[in-house]
Amino acid sequence: MRPITLLFFIGILLSIFSCRSDFETVASTGDLKFSKDTIYLDTVFTNIGSSTYRLKVYNKSKKDITIPSIKLGKGLNSKYRMTVDGMQGTNGKIFNNINLLAKDSLYIFIETTANITDANASDFLYTDQIQFDSGENLQNVELVTLIQDAIFLYPKRFADGTTETLPIGDEKIDGFYLDENDPVNGNELLFTNDKPYVIYGYAAVASNKTATFEAGTRVHFHANSGLIVANNASVNINGTLSTTDKLENEVIFEGDRLEPDFSDVPGQWGTIWLTDGSTNNKLNHLTIKNATIGLLIQNNDGTTVSIKNTQIYNSSNYGILAQTAKINGENLVINNAGQASLACSYGGNYSFTHCTFNNNWNSSQQVAVFVSNYILGVVPEVKDLTAATFNNCIIYGSYSNEMSLSKKTGAAFEYQFNNCLLKFDNVSNLFTTNPNYQFNTDPTHYNVIILNKDPKFLNVSQNKFNIDETSAAFAKGNTAYLIPLDILGNTRTLPPDLGAYQNKVFPK
């Protein structure tokens, strides 16, 4: 009897639900409730689609209702589009006779693609409404989007459907050379602060050319995009000190997703690649956010890459990956990277003064600083590390050991840490006899080291590495390595604090 009874009830349930599509309803009376009164679709670039935003509509009455119409106020001319409970309606703009059960809800998903000319000339806002019903029962939900004009740089598309590529060794990648006489954009080697730039693919600086970025320039890279500086080419980042939290004079490189949910997502774009033989590269007051590798610096031609007053955050692999390179870094801050905030590998010559290297990536494999004289292969290849010098620096993070020195025989391995705060907890005494980590007994490589003391950064999750007088890094610097101004332009007192920030009163 039990199987027959079960089948009987299943049959009843199926008959009930199969009849539910033609249930009786009453007309909506304008008493709908909404999850939001106004939907702010975050800033988008002109002609680039937004993310999709959600509105929930509630029928809190005890009656099944029919909403005669749900439509965009600008009708078929609206730059918004939507779906209503999965339905497309008329071009995603107009929907008629939408049924909604008692005590039930439905979802509306909204997105937009608009041009700067569609926005209000005074505030660059593009607005519309979702209108529910009409007349006395009319209810509105406002839609607001800020449209930002931009200069778009991208590979050419040819008549056969292929796109422009760049030769990288034996391979090719989507990319193009910046043109100083482009018929549309003019001089593409001069980046100004007039409008933001959006780059698709890799923009390359050709041999014997220099790309210059003026103070206040904003560059947004699409996924799998970046900047390549070729052999004998150069890049000059000419940011200057800003006076507000808007970093108005900083040059900023980041992804092209402007929504708040993407503000700290690593790996949204590729890298800034200073390739083999690039020359006279100078970076000042540059912020790099959410790249795969912030800076990839390979075997530059003997000139030193100058990196000053620069911040690199949330790189999915490395903040800086240097291979057989020459770098002089001052007031440099790097935080959060999947493998290392700073990796000086395969030899080279490096000097860092008043820098803060931190890594709070959620992995026991990450470090703040990695230094080696080789790259891995079937047989590791070695190169001379002629210098890796750290003066008045902080090397810290969430893992027990935030520094890794890795040496292979057959090449020089010269390093020195002077007046630095280091986190190296030597858990289980694994490195007690390792000659690279004799902090207290090796004056050739270590001088005045503060070990495993909390620098008490202001707010690591917000990339605020200011310190105060309670920090273990307070007034512990050596005046012999003094950089007179910190990354914010504050005058360093004597003795100076360690790291890129000089202590001063700052807001909590």
pLDDT single digits (tens) 314-324: 999 999 999 99
Give the pLDDT confidence score for residue 171 in this predicted structure. 85
The answer, yes or no, to whether the previous bond of 196 is cis (omega within 30 of 0) is no
Residues ≥6 apart with Cβ < 8 Å to 17: none
What is the per-residue pLDDT across 38-47, written as a single tens digit (0 to 9) for each?
Answer: 999 989 999 8
At residue 429, does pLDDT exceed 80?
Answer: no
Fold (CATH) for 23-148: Immunoglobulin-like (2.60.40)
275, amino acid identity = T
pLDDT at 290 over 80: yes
Mean pLDDT over each residue of the chain, to the nearest integer: 91
CB proximity list for 170: less than 8 A, separation 6 or greater: none
In DSSP terms, 51 is beta-bridged to none
Q: What's the pLDDT score for residue 125?
A: 94
Where do the domains of the chain lie?
23-148, 151-481
CB 217 within 8 A of CB 242: no
Report CA-CA distances (Å) from 267 to 22, 42, 161, 336, 456. Answer: 50, 21, 28, 12, 28
CB atoms within 10 A of CB 114: 22
- pLDDT tens digits, residue range 209-219? 999 999 999 99
Evaluated on CA atoms 458, 461, 462, 463, the torsion sign reads positive
Residue 50, judged by CB atoms within 10 A of its CB (0-12, 13-18, 19+), counts as buried
| Selection from 367, 442, 379 nearest residue 410 by Cα | 379
Q: Do the strands 340-353 and 385-391 form a parallel or antiparallel pair, or are they unpaired?
A: parallel
Contact indicator for 219, 252 with CB cutoff of 8 Å:
yes
**pLDDT for residue 301 is more than 80:** no
Separation between Cα atoms, residue 173 and residue 411, nearest integer Å = 34
What is the reported pLDDT for 353? 98
Residue 130 burial (CB < 10 Å; 0-12/13-18/19+)? Answer: buried
Q: Could you give the count of Cα atoms lying within 13 Å of 421 in the half-sphere of its Cβ?
A: 26
Q: Return the pLDDT at 357.
A: 98
**458-506: per-residue pLDDT in tens?**
999 999 999 999 999 999 999 999 999 999 999 999 999 999 999 975 4
pLDDT of res. 472? 97
Tokens found for residue 441: 């007994």
Nearest to 149 by CA among 177, 127, 119, 179: 119
pLDDT category of residue 507 using cuts at 50, 70 and 90: very low
